Structure 1
């Protein structure tokens, strides 16, 4: 054995330890990723697409059955997520889209009351959105389709002088859960959103 061989053995052993440590750290990182997956917000909702909007308490809905005004209704979604429909009675609408509600009412009427009913669903008024933190008049405000964060801030009286304008957090109800993500001035606002404007400290 030459004098250089023990040195090479030590280097090989050290490299093996480093490689093993790297593998262990990598596995631990993957385990953390699996245990705490990143929240994903539906692209359609981020783009302000209201076709996938799900009804919630505070929305006002108009359901029209063509040629059957006695089977039509206009009502606000109650706190328990229901509305009252003629003939059908109380129905759960919270969590449904307008298309899903139309299909449900159509099937219920067709089953027991009207042959091949033509049903239309219209949202007359959406639930409020909220803007909190560093704006002049924080609180809840009436939602209007097409709003973005810039418009929402203006509705709330504008920023305070301590507002961190590049630190905006939006919490959105989606599929029965609340999901949070960072926003910008151009982020679309949806009914029920909570917009938080952070404070700057310098």
Structure 2
């Protein structure tokens, strides 16, 4: 049986296992240092959950909801073991929680952002050797769920606070309206400015990308 457990403190007995899992799965520039998790975990708007199976952390997801923008963001999803139904378990519990958050805020969500690795640019990442985390698999899963890729050359600041540009991912959006073919550029810029406000060191590539987004009216949504 899987248990959906929220982590809201680095003192949580499951946090050490989660952080080790993050370091195993993701490259160093994508993982926040252990001690720097203290404030994010205590932030009530940031939701970090683990899937626990027989006392072991076997998966995790982090997400947040922006009522002023009416969008959500899935920060990451980790499936550490196959054949336990972890992916579906995390998806359904996240969906129910986001529905609750939207209802509490009195808003109707219009979609959810996510970043996904482009397997053709991220071939060097082993992702801990965990087969469900293979970038080809993850990309196809997001496509199956309904995510679309924003038509832009995407970069983001590295989470190690070094200010490097990470360029092996695509920014995606899961629209409530499956027929939606574009997204307002102002929504994208507002979201990215807020989401990466916690990182003071922004690479030049990210600043240039943001200028191009702000100069646009809409951004095309392409098949993933």
Query: Would the TM-score normalized by the shorter structure come out above 0.5?
Result: no
**TM-score interval (norm. to shorter):** under 0.3
Q: TM-score, normalised by structure 1?
A: 0.24
Q: TM-score, normalised by structure 2?
A: 0.22
Max radius of gyration: which structure?
1
Pick the structure with more helix per residue. 2
